[in-house]
Structure 1
């Protein structure tokens, strides 16, 4: 019953979750809380799968120490009593941990793989732009000799902001400052770690609607967060015009481009901003998102 309840919960979150989140416009008004909800649902799904996997090996008793004792209090028996004699009981205690640990390792493998691949690509690309471009101390960016306006960043331990000569020619000083502020927001916010997490989630659970759609939605919300920071510093008009200018510019797929995900939606959002949600509502959403990963434990306790 416990495993069935957890798998039902995971299916509901994985299938119905994105249907609920994609429609409302509140996410564009509060991209930070909306991002937390997407991540919270993903963690909640993973927690449900891990706890369901913990039921794969039938228990032969109860363990009342540490996390094992907590799970047993909820009816999630992962092993046998610590004083159970015999090799069979010891084997069951060890075997009880194999399925949930396998799920953790599976998700962790894809996350580490995404991080390493992204770091390797960024290092190679940074070396290339350093070779063919020139560093502009005034803008703290590498300038490439290209006529088309484009701007993107390479986050990480040794970050780069890359702009083209066409960007310098097309934008006013205020608009250029807005673009640079947008890219710095990606770097300081370490947004590449969040994208690596949702990419790993999609690789670990291919075909799952929540995993499939979270990458697109999270990427758009991260761009909106960077837009908001640029707007606070340089105004909405400067950000909107800058987005329009660099939207057609090409940028590497793995980089954060100012004119990247959902540029048209973001321009409309910046030009016609909706009233911000009340602080109490944003705080409530953040609190609910933070508690969402704990829901599978409540489901297990009630099952």
Structure 2
């Protein structure tokens, strides 16, 4: 039995229908970390499904273990009896993870280079502030951002220092610390890589849009664990009103507490508190773990292995 139709059907459901379900639900904004995990699980499941479907189309009737043997043959590990169609299927299957890894490396290295250049500038013109736990940069626009990765750094403009109170700046700095600790820059690179490789697929488009927003919400939640809601809300509103989203205020490769997502995040923080139930979280987390494995079960059902 050829599993390609089932795999393609599953890929269509994950690529088209699953994003609609995620966007209609209200829980992702209440549990942004869990929601981000689900988006990435959907992306991984879709990638595996497409790769396995290509192999099954090239090797009709074979189960997963047989397909893996065919991969070895097509790649030169085994008897040289692989046909052109089989080689094409293996090539398409290998191209899926290869393209994603290449896109991820491109974005990650490009952002890293931009951060390195900006650090060099900060070493010359920035003023380290022990009391703020950040580097102060002379800039009229009130803004705050972090440079994650090696030699991570949090930057606060002099405009933000003049505009905000000490407690408000502390809340903003706490927001940036969550970005650094969570290595959110790598997650953003992975989301952008998936969005580029599968451009045109609804899942890729929405994943590329939702991950940045969910990571900002996760950083907000981290800051709110240490600071009152009103403090963070005031800081976000003041900086947004003063033009913190101005072009050039935040360098490439940096993560900022401001940006275009501020209105959505403000409404979320100011809305009545609603938490997801532990049982729901456990079910969704379990589903996120199992989703990448479902294409493997479709490719090689346990009873037919």
Give the drift of 1:287: 1.3
| Distance in structure 1 (CA, Å) of the matches to 2:142 and 2:70 | 64
Partner of 2:18: 17
Give the drift of 1:155: 0.6
Q: Does 1:52 align with 2:53?
A: yes
Give the drift of 1:184: 0.4
Partner of 2:28: 27
Q: Does 1:79 align with 2:69?
A: yes
| Distance in structure 2 (CA, Å) of the matches to 1:46 and 1:81 | 17
| Distance in structure 1 (CA, Å) of the matches to 2:159 and 2:221 | 24
Q: Is the 8 A contact 1:56 1:99 kept in 2?
A: no
> Superposed, which structure 2 residues align to 1:1-303 within 5 Å?
1-58=2-59, 71-72=64-65, 77-79=67-69, 89-92=79-82, 95=87, 97-247=90-240, 248-249=243-244, 250-301=249-300
Give the drift of 1:298: 2.2
| Distance in structure 2 (CA, Å) of the matches to 1:16 and 1:81 | 31
Deviates more, 1:94-103 or 1:292-301: 94-103
- Number of aligned positions between the proteins: 289
| Distance in structure 2 (CA, Å) of the matches to 1:239 and 1:204 | 37
Per-residue deviation, residues 156-214 of structure 1 (Å, max 9, x unmatched) = 11111111111111111111110000000000010011000000001111111111121
Q: Is the 8 A contact 1:79 1:97 kept in 2?
A: no
Give the drift of 1:89: 4.2
Deviates more, 1:18-27 or 1:196-205: 18-27
TM-score, reference length from structure 1: 0.87
Structure 1 residues not aligned, in runs of 5+: 63-69
| Distance in structure 1 (CA, Å) of the matches to 2:180 and 2:14 | 31
Q: Secondary structure at the match of 1:193?
A: helix
Q: Is the 8 A contact 2:112 2:253 kept in 1?
A: no
Structure 2 residues not aligned, in runs of 5+: none
Per-residue deviation, residues 7-60 of structure 1 (Å, max 9, x unmatched) = 22112211222211112221111111111111110000001011112224337x
